[in-house]
Amino acid sequence: MSAAGHTPGPWTYPGGTGNFVGGPDRIRVADVGGMERSPEERQANARLIAAAPDLLAACKSVLDSVPFASYRGDGELEECEGRLRFAILKAEGGVK
């Protein structure tokens, strides 16, 4: 487990008929099986899960790089900042 509390990336989805997302050394991170879902939906879920560590890092990078405070009063940017912060909180277990 990493300092972030989850299996460190990169996470990968082997594709094909695979029903899991793997971490380093192909350790299973998430199982996306479940016959109640179509193969296409399971594959889409697996791709999204595999991208999660990269998406979290991208959200944090944007917050670190964009001077949101200098754009106070711009409702669109304030909403964007709020959505980034909420996504990070949710990913890190602060929101359920």
Q: What are the pLDDT tens digits along the chain (96 aa)?
A: 455 677 888 888 876 666 788 888 778 888 887 778 888 888 888 889 999 999 999 999 999 998 888 877 878 888 989 999 999 999 998 876
Extract the tokens encoding 35. Answer: 């016959």
Alpha-carbon gap, residue 8 to 2, rounded angstroms: 5
**Whole-number pLDDT of residue 3:** 58
In terms of Cβ atoms closer than 10 Å to its own Cβ (0-12, 13-18, 19+), residue 59 is: middle
Alpha-carbon gap, residue 72 to 81, rounded angstroms: 11
Contacts of 17 (CB under 8 A, 6+ apart): 39
**Whole-number pLDDT of residue 4:** 60
Contacts of 25 (CB under 8 A, 6+ apart): none
